[in-house]
Amino acid sequence: MGKEQIYSGTLRERKTLAGRKYAQSDKGKAAYKKYQQSQRGKTARQKATEKYRQSEKYKQYQRKYAEYGGYEHHLKCKYGMTFKQYNQMLKQQNDVCAICGKVNLDGRRLFVDHNHKTGKIRGLLCKECNTKLGVLENEKFIKHARKYLGERN
């Protein structure tokens, strides 16, 4: 019994067999349990985002974004405003959302709300208010939503 039996199958079959042996070992079980705990409560989208943010492709994107001036560049190109103007507007709003008046607790910047037809900047909004306002501005959606609710109530 000194020699192990050599398994002669396809590469896929050999990998599958090795994977099963590892999964059944104490080390494999501990690694899987640790993985499960780290992923508990996360959606598939969150897991994919986390994986992408650890990739080299994302790191290259971040470096390139920083070269162009980052968020300041975004403000200038999309809204024609400087970061200084953004901060002044934020200060005028007392660092809160212009609609709900809540402090942005998730640590992200407030969104620049603007009229999509004229491009005029109206204020800074939290993600929730910005999303809701976007829906309210879509008259076609509101018409269909009213019809839907009318039929089902």
Q: Which CATH class is domain 94-153?
A: alpha beta
Among 153, 80, 95, CA closest to 125: 95
Q: What is the pLDDT of residues 1-42, one digit of tens each?
A: 444 555 556 666 666 777 778 778 888 888 888 877 777 777
CA distance 113 to 93: 13
Q: What is the pLDDT of residues 45-80, one digit of tens each?
A: 888 888 888 888 888 877 877 776 778 888 888 889
Whole-model pTM: value is 0.53
Which sequence spans correspond to the domains of the chain? 47-80, 94-153
